[in-house]
Amino acid sequence: MAAARGPLLREPPARSAIDPFIVMDVMRQAAAAEAAGRSIVHMEVGQPATPAPRAAREAVKRAIDGDNLGYTLALGMDALRERIARLYRDWYGITVAAERVVVTSGSSAAFVLGFLALFGPGDRVALPAPGYPCYRHILTALGVEPVALETGPNTRWMPTAAQIEEAATRERLAGLLIASPANPTGTMLEPERLAEICAVARRRGLWFVSDEIYHGLTWGLPQATALQFSDDVIVINSFSKYFSMTGWRVGWMVVPPGLVRTVERLAQNLYISPPAVSQVAALGAFDGLEELEANKRVYAANRELLLRELPKAGLAEIVPADGAFYLYVDVSRFTGDSLAFAKQMLDEAGVAATPGIDFDPGRGRRFVRFSYAGSTAQMAEAARRLQGWARLQA
């Protein structure tokens, strides 16, 4: 169903006129094609095809029968905050106090809470381009100005400490947000580069927001959290990706101790609490880590398969995919209009992918992002369809 339009009593304010999250529009088109009886391979949305781990679902079944599942504390259930804090010991060998952990409705709500706590109207916040589009759109809706830091192949599609140092003064920055592994590129910052960036942010008095939502899904480079290098950072993470729980809408952030009360007041007023049932599921998910590691092996196999098969379809210009479950592919040989190209791919090849303009309004016209979070059979089918797609035979 297309979004309804009609006359309004008063026009919405300018700040609400943000761009769409195009991937969700592609998802709608793909669903419409399926409803019309077509077979579509979904590579548009970054979400695992697998459900939440069995242990999470079992925990929910028990809670539905035995718990009233009312509001929880605004910062989340204590047991979940403590379990998340332990993850920092297990994954990175560092101690994080559970009091600093804030459970949120997906990391998406963490961005709203974090941005409101850190930035005021007119502040300027640097974001790598290409990058996850919603950062830009949420900041804009809050009256904060996003500043693009262009990245490219020479720096593994990540900003450098020198680039940030220079932009801090030139652009009068209040903050900086980086995801590593990144969406859409999948590239990562090596731990030393992350440490350098934390140091620049601290020296320059910039809030550094580190989006670590793809941690747990890395394919070679070591993963480091910004919390290893500084306590003056805001780390954002989620149960959506590694934990395979997109629809449960549960994520978290770790904030400096001095910011906890500010975030708590915002969370109480904006959301009251994250959904109780999803927090129960999230806590249960920690008993399903073996299942999650098995999912990860499927992504690794999918990645290998696509890195081998896509070049045979003519899609050979692939950004180094260090982590996450995306391949960002340069399609400039075929098009300068990735939106039209992705639509044609959906219509003619039955493969849904996301046009790069979602992530980089300028250079993204030359790129398409494929998500490989589905099954290996689906990925093989996508490769087969693309190898037979006439548009790529040119």
Binding footprint of ligand PLP on the chain (CB under 6 A): 46, 106-108, 132, 179, 183, 211, 213, 238, 240, 246, 251
Triad 278, 25, 298: Cα angle to 5°? 55
Cβ proximity to ligand PLP, 183 vs 225, nearer residue: 183
- To ligand PLP, the closest distance from the beta carbon of 321 in angstroms equals 14
Report the residue closest to ligand PLP, judged by CB: 106
Cβ contact 351:383 at 8 Å = no
> DSSP states of 355-385 as a string?
EGGGT-TTGGGGEEEEE--S-HHHHHHHHHH
Rounded distance, CA 238 to CA 245, Å?
Answer: 9
Name the CA radius of gyration of the chain, rounded: 21
Cβ proximity to ligand PLP, 45 vs 195, nearer residue: 45
- To ligand PLP, the closest distance from the beta carbon of 134 in angstroms equals 7
Cβ proximity to ligand PLP, 227 vs 282, nearer residue: 282
Cβ proximity to ligand PLP, 136 vs 385, nearer residue: 136
Cβ proximity to ligand PLP, 160 vs 210, nearer residue: 210
- To ligand PLP, the closest distance from the beta carbon of 181 in angstroms equals 9
Cβ contact 110:252 at 8 Å = yes
Cβ contact 208:234 at 8 Å = yes
- To ligand PLP, the closest distance from the beta carbon of 7 in angstroms equals 33
- To ligand PLP, the closest distance from the beta carbon of 358 in angstroms equals 11
Rounded distance, CA 217 to CA 215, Å?
Answer: 5
- To ligand PLP, the closest distance from the beta carbon of 178 in angstroms equals 10
Cβ proximity to ligand PLP, 118 vs 313, nearer residue: 118
Reference 111, options 70, 74, 141; nearest CA is 141
- Pairing label, strands 41-42, 145-150: unpaired
Q: Residue 349's CB: how many other CB atoms inside 10 A? A: 22
